[in-house]
Amino acid sequence: MNPSELKIFALEDNAVFSKMLHYILSMDDEHEVKMFVNGRDLLYALDENPSVITVDYSLPDMTGEEVILKIKAKLPQVPIIVISGQNDIQTAVSLFKLGVYDYITKEEDIRERLLNALNKIKTKQSLEEEVQTLRQELSNKYEFDKSIIGNSTPMKKVFQMLHKTKNNNITVSITGETGTGKEVIAKAIHYNSNRKNKPFVAVNIAAIPTSLLESELFGHEKGSFTGAIAKRVGKFEEANGGTIFLDEIGEMDINLQAKLLRVIQEREVVRIGGNKIQKLDVRIITATHRDLSLRMNEKLFREDLYYRLLGLPIHLPPLRERENDVILIAKFLADQFTTTNGMKKLTFTKEAKEKLLNYHFPGNIRELKAIVELSAVMCDNDIISDTDIQFSSSQNVNSLLNKDLTLKEYTFEIIRSFMDRYHDNVATVAKKLDIGKVTIYRYLKEMDTNS
């Protein structure tokens, strides 16, 4: 049904007022109106799934409250508008406690008030449908085989572990170097679980000052400390019913870890400065690039918290250990970038692929993304060549030092790198490296001989 369309059930036993009510509700062509004169017939027709129900509070066969309770029992989400001949505040308050959407009296402004209530309901339902659509799109986006690219041996093990996170609420701990995609994995776990229509709340522990982290996680009441000018709902409460992702958990202060442990054990939280217990139903996913067992040995991470959070461990391999996944991910990132920017689809030359495969990627996927996007901008004719792929000097050093080479081979690599950077200008390279031009010519000759 279109968000602007409403299937309205109207319960009214007064024949004259029933006609007027039908006229008002039918003024909008997108309203489908069905009238009822008693509660029994309306309740029998609830299987038709109305969008809105208006209820006369005074009925011949049962009280308005009885009808409302029976409607709520069967269709708890359907908004109910009570129409009454009396302006009774106590009755209105009791009905709102039952969950009715609005209470309107049979007065001169009933038309305006009723149509205004229906418009608000349509707006709310439209927003809810948009949210549901976005959640479905997110769910599709984060399907394991769509959001996580790779078919290398290490990634096949990751996929096996990911599928074990479905249809259960086990805590998941993700480890891996910076830039390996730990948050993408966390989102994929959430959107492939039975909590996918509930909140996913991410908290980067390392990005929040220790003095503010407790309030950020658990919330606070107004006036609980200097600067607490209003009540704050913590991230755990925000995630209730869904998933909370605690990124860089290894950076949490040891004193706060005890409070986190209690929240996890009791599944409840009390805001700072408050005494009301907030019950929690939340799945916990953690991530860290640190070795938490070493942090425990250093007395920087609680052992009891470690085992509480361990749950199902998933280790993400660094990009350098993922075989040809580098090329698959590079193509995916290039397609993503060109689509976002309205550019033509790009291809990689054989030399460009070899250059990527031979690189160490200390920054992992995050670094690959930056390199691919720059290459997409720098390339000509919709083809990314090896010369379009640029690594920073520090990146080249990291990559070079992680290779198992002899001193002579290292020298070859350094000279080749400088020759590429300075466009084969031997005089400039000799000056930069503080060696003779003859030495460079000799190494270049040997390189040609060995290649």
Residue 419 lies in a domain: yes
- pLDDT over 70 at 19, yes or no: yes
* Predicted confidence (pLDDT) per residue in 389-435, tens digit: 988 644 555 555 556 667 777 778 788 777 776 777 888 888 878 78
Inside any domain, residue 82: yes
HSE (side-chain half, CA atoms, 13 Å) at 175: 13
Is residue 87 a part of any domain in this protein?
Answer: yes
Domain co-membership, 35 together with 59: yes
Answer yes or no: do 164 and 294 share one domain: yes
Answer whether residue 325 shows pLDDT above 90: yes
Residue 41 structural domain: 6-134
CATH of the domain at 129: 3.40.50.2300
- Give yes or no: residues 158 and 208 share one domain: yes
Tell me the per-residue pLDDT of 59-117, one tens digit each, with 9 for 90 and over: 777 887 888 999 999 998 899 999 887 777 877 888 888 888 998 888 778 888 888 88
Which run of H or of E encompasses 34? strand 31-36
- Kindly state whether residue 392 falls inside one of the protein's structural domains: yes
Q: Which of 134, 159, 194 is the last residue of a domain?
A: 134
Q: To 10 degrees, what angle do helices 64-74 and 89-98 make?
A: 20
Model pLDDT, residue 135: 57
Instruction: Give the distance, in angstroms, between the CA of residue 278 and the centroid of all CA atoms in the same chain.
Output: 23
- Same domain assignment for residues 331 and 308: no
306 with 435, same domain: the answer is: no
pLDDT tens string 4-16: 578 999 998 888 8
For residue 383, the domain's CATH number is 1.10.8.60
Please report whether residue 52 resides in a domain: yes
Give the containing element (helix H, strand E) for 245. strand 243-247
What are the pLDDT digits (tens) for 27-43? 888 889 999 988 889 99
Last residue of a domain, one of 293, 317, 341: 317
pLDDT tens column, 131-147: 666 655 554 555 666 66
For the chain, how many structural domains are there in total? 3
Q: Is residue 139 domain-resident?
A: no
Distance, in Å, from the CA atom of 198 to the CA atom of 187, rounded to the nearest integer, reads 12
Q: Are residues 276 and 337 in the same domain?
A: no
Other beta carbons within 10 angstroms of residue 49's beta carbon come to 12
State residue 437's pLDDT score: 82
Under 8 Å CB-to-CB from 57, ≥6 apart: which residues? 63, 64, 82, 83, 84, 85, 86, 91, 95
Which one of 317, 338, 361 terminates a domain?
A: 317
Same domain, 287 and 328: no
Question: What token pair was written down for 424?
Answer: 């084969």
Distance between CA atoms of residues 409 and 416, nearest Å: 11
DSSP state of 143: -
Q: Is residue 300 part of a domain?
A: yes
Same domain for 243 and 330, yes or no, is: no
Task: Examine the domain organization and report whether 130 and 15 are in the same domain.
Answer: yes
Burial of 279 (0-12, 13-18, 19+ CB in 10 A): exposed
270 and 249 within one domain:
yes
pTM of the model: 0.61
Nearest Cα neighbor of 246 from 138, 174, 181 is 174
- CA–CA distance, 374 with 148 (Å, rounded to integer): 22
1 found inside a domain = no
Same domain, yes or no, for 262 and 405?
Answer: no
Burial letters 10-47, b for 16+ CB under 10 A, else e: bbbeeeeebeebeebbeebeebbbbbbbebeebbeebe
192, 169 Cβ separation under 8 angstroms: no
Does the pLDDT value for residue 311 go beyond 90?
Answer: yes
CATH of the domain at 285: 3.40.50.300
Please give the average per-residue pLDDT across 221-238, as a whole number. 86
pLDDT at 393: 47
Which pLDDT does position 433 carry in this prediction? 80
Regarding whether 348 and 274 lie in a shared domain, the answer is no
